[in-house]
């Protein structure tokens, strides 16, 4: 078995060879998940650190540091000596102290095979002004964990929840720790009242008064041997600081009952602070398990939570037609003698299908503004360019996804990457979109990515033969023949079913394959537990279920 600590030490020895700070312009970061994306507190920059990438066979961990220059729409890689070890599923928070600081806590490291995991409990700070990393060694902090949440609030870092998972067992947390940014000391809180159940991947946001709000999340518990039950949480809590300013603050939990329209249950959503004392929730996934199938519903919607009013409401985009209408009214006032033309139709929602090589289908929604008549009307070149930007070939909003990285700078939301499923494949995205949260008109594409170009390697036959050489060797040919038949059937289906138009029901493509049972096993994992974590075990389970099914 691989010695994870030795592997981490080997990577650190390579990092120790860096002796100077080097910043170089570079292409956008390679696709990755569970990294951190934060807005620089003083500059027009976004800071991306760490993450992981799984190509179906091997797991790659990163401790790269990238800077996105907002005004230039360009990326730079920043090599700084003695960085934190490679990790993913950590938490990061920025504070404006001394020219800006980026604080990082926890996360996990995985072996290349994806069979072993190491959970960090270390605390690091990146001094943005001097471009230096520093590890803060303070006792009494949280245990090693992933999927936790951390925010900066009134000269404190506050850490809540998360989970620790080994090859045999797992545990979810609901403890709360604070790290004082002045004394550099950890404290474990003991709030009064009934708090949230243990969970990971929740919403955590501070209030202007210095309190903390917790919403949603995911957890699982063991019902009996080898049987786990997952729970999507939809409850909401307030962690209130009482007696602020005294030597020891007192904290208490209370349950919140917000009004408005709450987000549908989901996991893997992303959270960011929004203008006007609001918090936003973006994307996520909800797996609905039926009798013989599982349907993963991915989201690309936005919900706002108004902290002062304790109210949820969905975001509504005005669309580019608002500006077009103002221009039309101005032209009509200047030339009232021109004949009146029928008003253009509003934006239409088009459902576009991406077909993978194996015939599986992923559906992506697009919003196409304007109608055909608008092209015939006299207008400026700016309007024509705007209409060209709404062409069907260029989506105006991020495709549905979970685990996206989000940050807000100057009232603009930036969404980077995330994950979606294309048939049996896990697609790691690396696109970049932005949305002005003040105007709320339309998404802007800063960096595109074609999900069909994503590398995905099936599990090698040698790994399968290690489990059962004789059985695998006997069944390999039959499975290949069956898969080829399925591919031919999918190709025929692709020709028979054109792209789905608005208002039409989507065709259902259900194939009882070994990968289908692998997805069933995946449905019981948490949002922070990746497919790679149980790939070997789930593959064996999937083989058994598949053989029983046929």
Task: Please answer whether residues 314 and 261 qualify as being in contact, where contact means their C-beta atoms are separated by less than 8 angstroms.
Answer: yes
**CB-CB contact of 158 with 151 (8 Å):** yes
Residue 16 CA to residue 8 CA, distance in Å, equals 12
pTM: 0.72
Give pLDDT, residue 421: 85
Give me 21's structure tokens: 């700070």
Query: Would the CA dihedral through 535, 541, 543, 546 be positive or negative?
Result: negative
DSSP secondary structure of 266-322: -BS-EEEEETTTEEEEEEEEEEEE-SS-EEEEEEEEEEEEETTTTEEEE-----THH
With b for 16 or more beta-carbon neighbours within 10 A and e for fewer, the 501-538 pattern comes to eeeeeeeeeeeebbbbbbbbbbebbbbbbbbbbbbbeb
Q: 108 and 89 in contact (C-beta within 8 Å)?
A: yes
Per-residue pLDDT for the chain (550 aa), expressed as one digit of tens each? 357 777 777 777 777 677 789 999 999 999 999 999 999 999 999 999 999 998 888 889 999 999 999 999 999 999 999 999 999 999 999 999 999 999 999 999 887 776 778 899 999 999 999 999 999 999 999 999 999 999 999 999 999 999 998 777 889 999 999 999 999 999 999 999 999 999 999 999 999 999 999 999 999 888 877 777 888 999 999 999 987 555 457 899 999 999 999 999 999 999 999 999 999 999 999 987 554 555 678 999 999 999 999 999 999 998 886 565 665 676 666 656 555 555 545 555 555 555 555 555 555 555 444 443 333 333 433 343 333 334 444 558 999 999 999 999 999 999 999 998 887 788 999 999 999 999 999 999 999 987 777 777 876 544 444 444 333 333 333 333 343 444 444 444 333 333 333 333 333 333 334 444 444 444 444 444 444 444 444 555 555 554 555 4
Q: Which structure tokens are listed for 228?
A: 């786990």
Alpha carbon distance 276, 274 (integer Å) = 7
Q: Any idea what DSSP says for residue 373?
A: G
Structure tokens at 425: 């494949």
HSE-up of 64 (CA within 13 Å, CB side)?
24
Query: Phi and psi at residue 13, in whole multiples of 5°?
Result: -65, -35
Q: With H, G, I as helix, E, B as strand and everything else as coil, classify residue 382.
A: helix
C-alpha span between 169 and 164 (Å, rounded): 9
Q: What is the DSSP string of 337-354?
A: TSPPPPPPP--EEEEEEE
Q: At what angle do helices 514-522 and 535-549 cross, to 10 degrees?
A: 130
Q: Which residue has the tokens 């170089």?
A: 24
Any idea what DSSP says for residue 374? G
Q: Which helix (H) or strand (E) segment is 447 a member of?
A: strand 444-447
SS3 string of 482-548? HHHHHHHHHHHHHHHCCCCCCCCCCCCCCCCCHHHHHHHHHCCCCCCCCHHHHHHHHHHHHHHHHHH
Asked if residues 407 and 37 have their Cβ atoms less than 8 Å apart, the reply is: yes
Distance (Å, whole) CA 336 – CA 81: 68
Produce one character per residue of 388-411: b if its CB has 16 or more CB atoms within 10 Å, e if not: eebeeeebbbbbbbbbbbbbbbee
pLDDT of residue 352: 57
3-state secondary structure of 158: strand
pLDDT score of 516: 43
Task: Note the residue count of the chain.
Answer: 550
> Backbone phi, then psi, for 365, in 5-degree steps?
-90, 145
Cβ within 8 Å of residue 174, ≥6 positions away: 160, 161, 195, 196, 197, 198, 199
Which residue has tokens 């790691």? 428
- pLDDT at position 188 is 96
pLDDT at 14: 73
What is the pairing mode between strands 259-260 and 270-274? unpaired
Q: For residues 10 and 18, what is the distance between their CA atoms, to the nearest angstrom?
A: 14
The pLDDT, as a whole number, for residue 548 is: 57
Q: Hunting for tokens 């009214």 — which residue is that?
A: 329
Buried b (16+ CB within 10 A) or exposed e, 428-463: bbbbbbbbebeeeebbebbeebebeebebeeeeeee
Residue ranges of the domains in the chain? 28-317+397-452, 506-549
Pick the CATH number of 28-317+397-452 from 3.40.640.10, 2.120.10.80, 3.40.50.2000, 2.60.40.10: 2.120.10.80
Tokens 């020709």, residue located: 495
């Amino acid at each position: 078995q691989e010695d994870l600590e030795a592997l981490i030490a080997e990577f650190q020895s390579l990092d120790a060879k860096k002796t100077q700070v080097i910043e170089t312009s570079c292409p956008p970061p390679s696709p990755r998940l569970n990294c951190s994306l934060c807005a620089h507190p003083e500059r027009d920059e976004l800071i991306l650190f760490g993450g992981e990438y799984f190509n179906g066979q091997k797991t790659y961990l990163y401790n790269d540091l990238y800077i996105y220059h907002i005004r230039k729409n360009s990326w730079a890689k920043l090599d700084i000596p003695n960085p934190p070890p490679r990790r993913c599923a950590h938490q990061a928070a920025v504070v404006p102290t001394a020219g800006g600081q980026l604080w990082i806590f926890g996360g996990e490291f995985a072996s290349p095979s994806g069979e072993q995991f190491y959970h960090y409990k270390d605390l690091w700070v990146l001094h943005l002004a001097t471009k230096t990393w520093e590890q803060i060694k303070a006792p009494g902090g949280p245990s090693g964990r992933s999927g936790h949440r951390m925010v900066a609030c009134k000269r404190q870092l506050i850490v809540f929840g998360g989970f620790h998972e080994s090859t045999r067992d797992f545990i979810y947390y609901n403890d709360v720790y604070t790290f004082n940014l002045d004394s550099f000391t950890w404290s474990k809180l003991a709030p009064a009242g009934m708090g949230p159940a243990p969970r990971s991947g929740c919403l955590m946001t501070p209030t202007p008064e210095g309190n903390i709000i917790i919403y949603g999340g995911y957890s699982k518990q063991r019902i009996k041997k080898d049987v786990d039950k997952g729970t999507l949480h939809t409850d909401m809590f307030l962690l209130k600081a009482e007696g602020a300013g005294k030597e020891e603050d007192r904290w208490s939990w209370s349950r919140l009952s917000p009004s408005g329209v709450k987000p549908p249950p989901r996991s893997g959503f992303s959270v960011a602070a929004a203008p006007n004392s609001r918090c936003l929730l973006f994307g996520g996934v909800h797996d609905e398990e039926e009798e013989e199938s599982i349907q993963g519903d991915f989201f690309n919607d936005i919900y706002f939570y108004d902290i002062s009013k304790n109210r949820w409401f969905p975001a509504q985009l005005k669309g580019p037609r608002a500006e077009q209408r103002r221009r039309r009214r101005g032209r009509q006032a200047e030339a009232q003698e021109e004949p009146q033309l029928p008003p253009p139709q509003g934006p239409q929602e088009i459902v576009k299908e991406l077909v993978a090589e194996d015939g599986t289908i992923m559906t992506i929604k697009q919003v196409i503004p304007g109608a055909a008549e608008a092209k015939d009307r006299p207008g400026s070149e700016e309007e024509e360019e705007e209409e060209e930007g709404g062409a069907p070939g260029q989506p105006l909003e991020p495709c549905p996804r979970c685990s996206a990285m989000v940050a807000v700078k100057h009232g603009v939301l930036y969404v980077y990457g995330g994950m979606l499923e294309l048939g049996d494949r896990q697609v790691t995205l690396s696109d970049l979109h932005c949305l002005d949260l003040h105007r709320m008109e339309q998404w802007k594409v800063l960096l595109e990515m074609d999900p069909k170009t994503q590398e995905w390697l099936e599990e090698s036959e040698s790994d399968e033969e290690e489990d059962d050489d004789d059985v695998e060797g006997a069944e390999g040919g039959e499975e290949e023949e069956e898969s080829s038949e399925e591919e031919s059937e999918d190709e025929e289906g692709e020709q028979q079913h054109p792209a789905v138009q608005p208002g039409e029901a989507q065709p259902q493509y259900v194939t009882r394959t070994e990968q289908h049972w692998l997805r069933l096993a995946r449905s019981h994992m948490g949002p922070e537990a990746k497919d790679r974590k149980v790939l070997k075990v789930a593959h064996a389970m999937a083989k058994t279920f598949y053989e029983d099914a046929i």
